[in-house]
A = this chain, B = another copy of it.
Amino acid sequence: MDLDDIFGALSSVPRRQIIAFLSQTALSTTDLAGRFLLSPPAISRHLAVLQRAGLVVSERQGQRVLYRLNRDLLLGALARFASAVDGPLRRDAQAARTPREAI
């Protein structure tokens, strides 16, 4: 929910790659560790960052923990930020005071 957590999570190449993989299918830690060269602990912590931002949800299935992308949250955050950047001046000539909201 926190835009700072979200953009913080998106600022890492491995995490954006994880997002890209999860945009196709749900995967476990070791699944992901096998796809690009990172140790399982590193993947696990990246997933924790993504999860704290709400970008990913986890579901245990037996020994494995499946991670799934929360597409709606991600796209919603991007859209919200984009519309904030698109400018109050564009969408509403009034109320152009401090543009802190949604940033």
Chain A's interface: helix, strand, loop or mixed, by majority?
helix
> Which residues in B have their C-beta under 8 angstroms from that of A103?
13, 16-17, 19-20
A100 proximal to B (CB < 8 A): yes
Query: Most B CB atoms within 10 A — which of A3, A11, A74, A86?
Result: A11
Number of copies: 2
How many chain A residues sit at the interface, stated as a range, is 20 to 34
CA distance A96 to B21 in the complex (A): 10
Which A residues have a C-beta under 8 Å from some C-beta of B? 3-4, 7-8, 10-11, 13, 16-17, 19-21, 23-24, 69, 71, 74-75, 78-79, 81-82, 84-89, 96, 99-100, 103
